[in-house]
Amino acid sequence: MNPYIYTKKLEEFNLRPEKKNGHWAKSVVTFPVVSESQFPEARLAVADYYSPVTPGKKPCVILVHGWGDRSALPLIKMADDLASRGIATIVLYLPFHSRRAPQAVRRKGTHLSTEEWYVCYQMGVTDIVHLVDWLETRLEIDSKHIGIIGLSLGAFMSSIAMSIDKRLKAGVLMVSGGNAGKISQFSRFSIFRKEYAVSPLQYEKNQRTYYDFLSRVSLQGWENVYPDKKEYLNDPLTYAYILKEKPILMINARWDEFIPSEATEEFWKATGGRDLIWIRSTHATIWAFYPRIFKRVYAFLQMNLVK
């Protein structure tokens, strides 16, 4: 059971130039949603592509935002700053952004059904991987040096994309974690607790079932184990064992009201326990520390992605 299988449609990518300055040329990229299951009216994905004006092949980073429009703003700035330093960037807009959100997402917000969340993950992850297909065709891109930066919900999807696609060589995961059951149960965000938290007894039972699934995955590979619940295939922790092979930088908020530290640390340990930075902030106020964050992100990319 693999929800991330798709058929390439490179001939349907459309590139429309939009803006240019002394550092980069920006274009809007639209391309078909290739996941098998999708919302009927959500046929096109959209991204902003910043191509540095410097000659030669460049490394490239895909940036994936979290819930809603505001979460994209700091990544747009980061895309600009990285492109100004010679790293091509492409900001992917998820199905949760107004530029492409299906009607069900616009109407329900975070109150999506389990099936709708599953479909959105399918769309987001396959959009990321399909963008890599396209980047490989670009003469200005060094296809052996493609990475990803994910924020919050976008970091969950980026984790999965990195796991299933070897072409994504390194990743930065911000305000993220793994084990959706643990996140739902211990998040301090009231909507999460109201909609997804269960009794302590049920929580322990659910965790035992999930950990049993993870044990089988570690022995047989996630593609060869049928999940007790298909939403397990949307959980970054399911794929963490694969990420031990890739350089990852995690940047998390010490007082994150959405992602409990237990879920962050569990995912971090499962991926090999390497670079983890704690910022003394909440989930959203982490961007008050943008200069510090950008400095660490840029240094990480220089070390792990740039020749």
Please, are residues 248 and 220 in contact by the beta-carbon 8 Å criterion?
no
From 213, 245, 248, 215, select the one nearest 232 (Cα to Cα). 213
List the structure tokens of 299.
């240094």
Listed in sequence order, the DSSP H helices in 12-110 are 73-83, 103-108
Please name the amino acid found at residue 231: E
Residue 223, in any domain of the structure: yes
Residue 137 pLDDT class (50, 70, 90 cuts): very high
Residue located via tokens 């895909």: 62
In a domain, 304, yes or no: no
* Phi, psi torsion values for 216, nearest 5 degrees: -70, -35
Contacts of 45 (CB under 8 A, 6+ apart): 30, 31, 32, 33, 92, 93, 100, 123, 127, 130
Structure letter (DSSP) for residue 95: T
Q: 139-191, pLDDT tens digit by residue?
A: 999 999 999 999 999 999 999 999 999 999 999 999 999 999 999 898 887 56
Is residue 4 domain-resident?
no
Cα maximum dimension of the chain: 60
For 202-248, the pLDDT digits (tens) are 999 999 999 999 999 999 999 999 999 999 999 999 999 999 989 99
| CA nearest to 165, candidates 47, 6, 307 | 6
| 75 within domain boundaries | yes
Token duo for residue 110 = 């975070």
Q: What letter does residue 94 receive in the DSSP assignment?
A: P
Residue 29, in any domain of the structure? yes
pTM of the model as a whole: 0.95
The total of structural domains in the chain comes to 1
The answer to the question of residue 34 being in a domain is: yes
Q: Residue 167's domain spans which residues?
A: 10-299
Residue 1 is assigned to a structural domain of this protein: no
Q: What CA dihedral angle connects 241, 243, 248 and 250, to 10 degrees?
A: -40
One-letter amino acid at 3 equals: P
Which amino acid is residue 105, in one-letter code? V
At residue 306 the predicted structure's pLDDT band, cuts being 50, 70 and 90, is: confident
Alpha-helix residue ranges (DSSP H) falling in 114-166: 114-135, 153-164
**CATH number, domain containing residue 181:** 3.40.50.1820
* Beta strands 58-64; 88-93: pairing state: parallel
Q: What is the pLDDT of residue 190?
A: 58
Q: Residue 207 — φ and ψ, nearest 5°?
A: -65, -40
Task: Tell me what the mean pLDDT of segment 19-43 comes to.
Answer: 90
Region of 175 please: left (phi>0), alpha (psi -120 to 50) or beta.
Answer: left
> Could you give the residue ranges of the DSSP H alpha helices within 189-234?
190-196, 200-220
CA–CA separation, 106 and 104 (whole Å): 5
Rg (CA), the chain: 18
Query: Scanning the structure block, which residue is given the tokens 């510090």?
Result: 292
pLDDT of 60-113, one tens digit each?
A: 999 999 998 999 999 999 999 999 999 999 999 999 999 998 888 888 888 888
Residue 261 covered by a domain: yes
Contact between residue 74 and residue 151 where contact means Cβ atoms under 8 Å apart: yes
